[in-house]
Amino acid sequence: MITKEYFEAWINIAGVITGLLLVFIFTPFYMNSGKAALLRCKILYPDENPIFFIKSSMLQSIIITALFGAFLGTFILPFFIFEGLHSIRQVSVSTLWIYCFAFLIGLYGIFFRFNITYVLTDRGIRIISPYRILRPMFKEDFFIKYDDIKSVQLNKSFFMSRLLIHLKNDEIFRGLVGFVHLEKAEKIITDYMNKGV
Rounded CA-CA distance 100/92 in Å is: 11
Residue 83 has pLDDT above 90, yes or no: no
pLDDT digits over 56-71, tens only? 999 999 999 999 999 9
pLDDT reported for residue 139: 74
Residue 186 has pLDDT above 70, yes or no: yes
Please, are residues 176 and 185 in contact by the beta-carbon 8 Å criterion? Answer: yes
pLDDT digits over 99-157, tens only? 999 999 999 999 999 999 999 999 999 999 999 888 888 777 889 999 999 999 999 87
Residue 43's CB is within 10 A of a number of other CB atoms, namely 8
Beta strand segments in 129-195, E: 143-145, 149-155, 162-167, 172-177
Q: Are β-strands 117-121 and 124-128 bridged in parallel, bridged antiparallel, or unpaired? A: antiparallel
pLDDT reported for residue 197: 54
DSSP state of 130: S
Opening angle at CA 137, ends 35 and 67, nearest 5: 75
